[in-house]
Structure 1
Amino acid sequence: MLRSILLFMLAALAEIGGAWLVWQGVREHRGLAWTGAGMLALGGYGFVATFQPDPHFGRVLAAYGGVFVAGSLLWGMVMDGFRPDRWDILGVFLCLVGVAVIMYAPRS
């Protein structure tokens, strides 16, 4: 389970960081280097996701959606000064509970 969690964290860093770099390159007019770096990071996200131990693409990607929600709010706090309210925090909690159920519930 620890390996899976670490892979989710690495995937979130690659995807959210990549999207942020593209955002900076295009919306903040920082140029093609930022946009290109973002595109490479986004490709890295797709690669990292393949190392999840669960063999089902749909399950891994569905669970990652909850990790993405949590990581996006955390990224916004660190990089953009975003301050989540109690509803954001509740939503993240619910998403992470969903991740745990999808990925780590006992199956026969």
Structure 2
Amino acid sequence: MTLFAYIVAALAEIAGCFAFWAWLRLDKSPLWLIPGVVALILFAWALTWIETSHAGRAYAAYGGVYITAAILWLWAVEGARPDRWDLIGGAVALAGTAIILFGPRSASA
């Protein structure tokens, strides 16, 4: 469920932010803001599906997922092929996500 929640959150956040980008930077209609706001609400809701006792930990771990999803968006939607630095950065970010999610915790953490 955690992976699913992070994937939904990443897609929703990037889509929502891109809607604002399209409106402000690509001269798209202000109507793009409607699905953008809906997507951002879905993003916030999806992060509540993460099984953790602390919101900050879910958000911190999500950062690596977001970075990787943004690199995929760059390639799939914007047509810009990621370079080796994009890929290395995404891998480092995912490593950080794994440390946050799977690192051993004390009973009080």
Give TM class, smaller chain: over 0.9
Q: 1:106 Cα shift?
A: 2.7
Counterpart AA for 1:71: A
Counterpart AA for 2:63: G
Deviations 1:70-94 (A, max 9, x none): 0001011000111111111111001
Deviations 1:52-106 (A, max 9, x none): 0012111111111111110001011000111111111111001001101101223
Q: Which residue of 2 aligns with 1:60?
A: 58
Note if contact 1:22-1:36 (Cα within 8 Å) is conserved in structure 2. Answer: no
Count residues with an aligned counterpart. Answer: 106
Q: Which residue of 2 aligns with 1:5?
A: 3
**C-alpha separation in 2, matches of 1:104 and 1:31:** 43
Unmatched tracts of structure 1, length 5 or more: none
Counterpart AA for 2:72: L
**C-alpha separation in 2, matches of 1:101 and 1:14:** 24
Counterpart AA for 2:54: H
After TM superposition, where is structure 1 displaced by more than 3 Å over at least 4 residues in a row? none
- RMSD of aligned Cα (Å): 1.0
Q: TM-score if structure 2 supplies the norm length? A: 0.91
Q: TM-score if structure 1 supplies the norm length? A: 0.92
**C-alpha separation in 2, matches of 1:13 and 1:102:** 21
Query: 42, 45, 48: which one pairs with 2:46?
Result: 48
Percent identity (aligned) = 38
**C-alpha separation in 2, matches of 1:44 and 1:86:** 31
Q: 1:20 Cα shift?
A: 0.9
